[in-house]
Amino acid sequence: MKDYLYSASLILLSIAIIISVPFGVSFSENYLISLQVPSNNSNVAGIQKYNSPPTPGDLSVPDLSARGVLVLDLGTDTMLYQKNADERVPIASTTKIMTAIVASDYFKPNSVLTVNDGASVIGSKVGLSRGESLDFRSLLFGLLLNSGNDAAFTIAENYPGGLIGFVSAMNKEVLSLGLKNTHFQNPAGLDNQNHFSSAKDLSKITKEALKNVELARIFATKDTQVSSLDKKYIYQLHNLNKLLSSVVGVLGVKTGYTEEAKENLVTLVNRNDHRVLFVVLGSDDRFGESTKLIDWVYSNFTWQ
């Protein structure tokens, strides 16, 4: 009788284990997926995963003139707000986020680049002189702080295949990231009917850039000094993003302006270890409207 009870107990226990295993495996896989953090970006970019998205309160969204807007909680990859997020619009110098990605994938920080035709490009500049040489890291600072078009074209001209090869690499990266509403015609963001992106695509480009520790640090840099390799030319660089000095928790990322694109700003914010990405395109007041959105998000949403 004891042997019978013992055998029956083993059978029941085996059935219970078989039934429970699929549930346990499924639960574990889903849980791990929800906590995955992209490599190389958890400390600098600050993308920390949470189990549930933030919940909204009752505050109404600020009035915005911006043509395209997207607000993304990076912890859960949850869109908190959007306005025409898929609309194709000119993006001016926010283009340089992609320029930085492509260039950083090829050049090393100490790679030597020489200034050629890029010195004469129109628009915002570092002030580079034809014939001078700088290391790539210095040009990155000039590209992302001063938004130097001369730095952007210098980087492209030193890339395999020159300017054409570099722009082609930018558009290959577009395909790699699966972007549907983006195409590049130049590395600086000069207005062109074939040069455009969207708020949603630009958020994906920025997330990719933030995986690079060095780029994330440069995005958050307020001021620095760089020089040509022979020390003949010295440049004082100042980040054009005013929010770095005026709004709590701002960690960059990039400004942009042309007459056609109007005012543009991509902003990364970290408050109480909650990272949120803001994309504002085609605005009449990029800094004011981004500040309103930042205050609205951190006053309106609650993280569990």
Residue type (1 letter), 95: T
- In this prediction, residue 50 carries a pLDDT of 54
Alpha helices in 107-161 (DSSP H): 136-144, 149-157
Closest CA relative to residue 141, chosen from 210, 235, 213, 279: 235
Q: Is 147 a catalytic residue?
A: yes
Q: Which helix (H) or strand (E) holds 5?
A: helix 2-35
Rounded average pLDDT per 10-residue block, the chain, 304 residues:
44 40 30 29 44 69 94 95 97 98 98 97 97 98 98 98 98 98 98 98 98 97 97 97 96 97 98 96 98 95 86
Residues 104 and 100: their CA atoms lie apart, in Å, by 6
Residues 41 and 216: their CA atoms lie apart, in Å, by 8
Residues 191 and 10: their CA atoms lie apart, in Å, by 74
155 phi, psi to nearest 5 deg: -60, -45
Contact 66, 162 (CB under 8 A): no
Contact 224, 146 (CB under 8 A): no
Q: Which helix (H) or strand (E) holds 238?
A: strand 234-238
Sign of CA dihedral 35, 42, 107, 184: positive
- In this prediction, residue 7 carries a pLDDT of 46
Residue type (1 letter), 177: L
- In this prediction, residue 303 carries a pLDDT of 87
3-state helix, strand, coil in the chain (%, to 5): 40, 20, 40
- In this prediction, residue 61 carries a pLDDT of 84
Residues 129 and 117: their CA atoms lie apart, in Å, by 9
Sign of CA dihedral 116, 223, 70, 281: negative
Question: What residue segments make up the domains of the chain, in order of their start?
Answer: 55-302
- In this prediction, residue 52 carries a pLDDT of 66
> Looking at 104, 124, 138, 147, which residue is catalytic?
147
- Answer CATH for 55-302 from 3.60.15.10, 3.10.310.70, 3.40.710.10, 3.20.20.70: 3.40.710.10
3-class SS at 36? coil
Q: Is 26 a catalytic residue?
A: no
Q: Is 96 a catalytic residue?
A: yes
- Any idea of the CA torsion for 166, 117, 216, 104, to the nearest 10 degrees? 40
Which residues, 6+ apart, have CB-to-CB distance to 255 below 8 Å? 93, 94, 147, 240, 241, 264, 265, 286
Residues 193 and 114: their CA atoms lie apart, in Å, by 30
What does the buried/exposed string (b/e) look like for 209-218 if buried means 16 or more CB atoms within 10 Å of the residue's CB? bbbbeebbeb
Strand partners, 277: 72, 268
